[in-house]
Amino acid sequence: MITEKESPPTKIAERDVLATRGLRLPQITLRSLRSCGIYCQPSISLEHQHLADRYVLRGVESGGAVSDLGSYCSFVGAEGQALCWLQRVDSIAVNGVHAIVIEPKMVRLQMLRVRHTYDLLITQHFLEQTPAPRRPALRSSILFYGRRGTLEMDLCRKDSGYIGTVLPVFFSRCGEPVEVPPMLGESVLKITAAVSCVGCRHSHLLQPGTSKIADTVAPEIAEVS
């Protein structure tokens, strides 16, 4: 199991909100994302599969970039392994929803890029069983939280040849380098590429294939909302 890495100190309540809802972005950043047409949905929902009579987690890979701004969210397995999407989502619009994933547990990666500055939040999510007939509880925790990371390369233009091979450098408040969890290194490379993918139309982390947990997904669960 991936263990939590040291990250900048925050209040307990704030960390709980981050773990559950994702990066808390200021209004000016949210307005800029909207005006650029970048749609990133970090929320994770608890869904019930009626045919299999079980609960699962549902996530949405989404986001993209323009030259000076990028935001992206996707998911990998609990050990950092790639996950297969339940369905790919094609749209006329760019920088939006790319794929849906259904799993009993997952790791969420969410990144924001403002020119050469990056925020990265990695969180772990799983279901905790409760006494029947109550629905299970969604448990979330932070594995890594890096703020104001730096990558002095223009991956959108002149340095595009390095996409998928470089990632930002993050530091603690006292100036010491903070490394991402080793098992998630490849995933962080991919999401770094995603926040520099101008006019993104494809999935960067979720892969084609058959998700075992989704074999008995009821039609209403698989429906994109």
pLDDT at residue 23, rounded to an integer: 95
pLDDT at residue 44, rounded to an integer: 96
**90-148 pLDDT tens trace:** 999 999 999 999 999 999 999 999 999 999 999 999 999 877 777 899 999 999 999 99
**171-225 pLDDT tens trace:** 998 999 999 999 999 999 999 999 999 999 999 999 998 776 655 544 443 444 3
pLDDT at residue 12, rounded to an integer: 61
pTM of the model: 0.87
pLDDT at residue 127, rounded to an integer: 93
CA-based nearest residue to 126, from 138, 109, 144, 143: 138
pLDDT at residue 10, rounded to an integer: 54
Residue type, 224: V
The string of DSSP codes covering 161-209 is GGTTT---BEE-TTS-EEPPPGGGHHHHHHHHHHTT-BT--S-SS-BSS
